[in-house]
Homo-oligomer: A and B are copies of this chain.
Amino acid sequence: MFYFIIDILGTIAFAISGVLVAMEKKMDIFGVLIIAFATAVGGGTLRDIMIGSTPVFWMRDYTYISIIIGTVAFAVLFANHLHNFPKTLLFFDAIGLGLFTMVGVEKGLAYDLLPVMCIALGTVTACFGGVIRDILCNKIPTIFSREIYATACILGGVSYFVLIQLPIEEAYAYSIAILMVIVGRLLAIRFGIALPNIYRKER
């Protein structure tokens, strides 16, 4: 139940981020819905086809499709009241990033994958929806923003595997890891934190 709620919240956060980008690009109603859908399920779809969990998760029942349609309807109405699109987008994107990282890690564990693969799977789940959203909307993918992005997912995933070694409940480790991704990403945006570039030094 706990994991299911996390999954739903992540779906809502990414669907909203999809609506925001699609509306900025002045897409029509169906365009907004398709972008929201691709953003919300894109990462999980790639995760599922890479581990062979088919039909992919959102095809099995109406849960995800209903939630996305509901979220889009709500977001479209609500978005006209927003005063600051870019900040709101970055906020929902960060929330989705944190939630989906751990949804992916959890799925990797359910498939008995090694810890490093679980972290890779979490990163794919979290990052790929946003990549699809940005490619479809002809934007430079947020993943290549100067501030740390995928790195936040990797750090969150690593924290989880460290935390579950400690004598704390698994749900706490899980929740802390989610918060670390979100807070890490938001702090990186706020303070413009980036990893050092690697480039050729003149000699």
Residues of B within 8 A of A22 (CB): 198
Interface string of A171-203 (1 = CB under 8 A from B): 000000000000000000000001111111101
Interface string of A136-165 (1 = CB under 8 A from B): 101011001000101100100000000000
Cβ of A167 within 8 Å of any chain B Cβ, yes or no, is no
| Chain B: minimal CB distance from A82 (Å) | 8
Interface string of A13-24 (1 = CB under 8 A from B): 000000000110
Q: How far is the CA of A23 from the CA of B197 in the complex (A)?
A: 8
Given A50-B54, A54-B51, also A26-B197 (CB < 8 A): yes
Q: How far is the CA of A102 from the CA of B27 in the complex (A)?
A: 26
Cβ of A109 within 8 Å of any chain B Cβ, yes or no, is no
Residues of B within 8 A of A140 (CB): 138
Copies in the complex: 3
Interface size on A, residues (CB 8 A): 52
Residues of B within 8 A of A120 (CB): 59, 65
Q: How far is the CA of A80 from the CA of B199 in the complex (A)?
A: 8
Interface string of A46-83 (1 = CB under 8 A from B): 00011110111001011001000000000010011010
Interface string of A33-47 (1 = CB under 8 A from B): 010000000000100
A-B contact pairs, 19 of them (CB 8 A): A23-B199, A23-B200, A27-B197, A28-B148, A29-B196, A29-B198, A30-B148, A30-B150, A30-B151, A45-B50, A50-B56, A50-B59, A52-B52, A52-B55, A55-B111, A59-B120, A65-B116, A80-B200, A138-B140
Interface on A for B, CB 8 Å cutoff?
22-23, 26-32, 34, 45, 49-52, 54-56, 59, 61-62, 65, 76, 79-80, 82, 85, 111, 113-114, 116-117, 120-121, 136, 138, 140-141, 144, 148, 150-151, 154, 194-201, 203
